[in-house]
Structure 1
């Protein structure tokens, strides 16, 4: 597996990956309003993570296939971490997450975890900063990671 920066030419593959993972793992946890919000706002907003001035966005590729995607905004906030459903549990998410954390020069990185991913982030050293919240039908748990080495 190779982790490298995304390019504009990766846009369609990234959108396809995010849609596929969201449909199987995230959207079932949302209300109808949340599903509509995600589809109408979150998916179209993916293009912003290709802005290299504000985002460090990476892809995991194996045998020429996109199997994971992650994005770090302004070095302090993980906006996306998606792994192909067939690759989940194989370490791809851990490697992508560690790559993003290593890229940050700050001692604290935060994110909003989907409810189904909280245990994954906890296993990687993140802690919840509040209880589950819901905005426009989208459920999440705010979390943060303190990098003791920085």
Structure 2
């Protein structure tokens, strides 16, 4: 497996496609039709997407996991591992690689219900009760860099 920051339009498009496909398969309990439309619009919004930093995990040249960070404040905008590759620690490795050069004190994420336990294993803590916004149910979580 190879993990790296990605810049090429093709790689970013592949990462966005993986994000949408995985979202549809794995987040049905946390969203409705409005939520699916919101995510679809977000992923198609080039102005928003161009402000994100993308990292991807590759297996045999294929993207199998991706994470994208937004700023002000630093937050995880997208974090998905292809369903067939989940449970293989790819998400852990991807997260740890991506945060190596972060200078911020915190990382924020609005986690799906399914991913709360995963984020807790990474060191995130729940800071607010679940909310529903734009057709999506999420839980606000925070990661604090120590030291």
Same fold by TM-score, threshold 0.5 exceeded?
A: yes
Cα distance in 1 between the residues matched to 2:116 and 2:36: 19
Corresponding position of 1:68: 65
Cα distance in 1 between the residues matched to 2:65 and 2:86: 9
SS at match of 2:27: helix
Q: TM-score w.r.t. structure 1 length?
A: 0.87
- CA apart distance, 1:122: 0.6
Gaps of 5+ in 2: none
SS at match of 2:137: strand
- CA apart distance, 1:27: 3.2
Q: TM-score w.r.t. structure 2 length?
A: 0.88
- The total of aligned residue pairs comes to 145
- CA apart distance, 1:47: 6.6
Alignment of 1:103-122 (within 5 A): 103-122=101-120
Alignment of 1:36-115 (within 5 A): 36-39=37-40, 41-45=41-45, 48-49=48-49, 51=50, 54-74=51-71, 76-115=74-113
Q: Does 1:14 align with 2:15?
A: yes
- Work out whether residues 75 and 107 of structure 2, in 8 Å CA contact, stay in contact via their aligned partners in 1: yes
- CA apart distance, 1:28: 3.8
Q: C-alpha root-mean-square deviation of aligned residues, in Å? A: 1.8
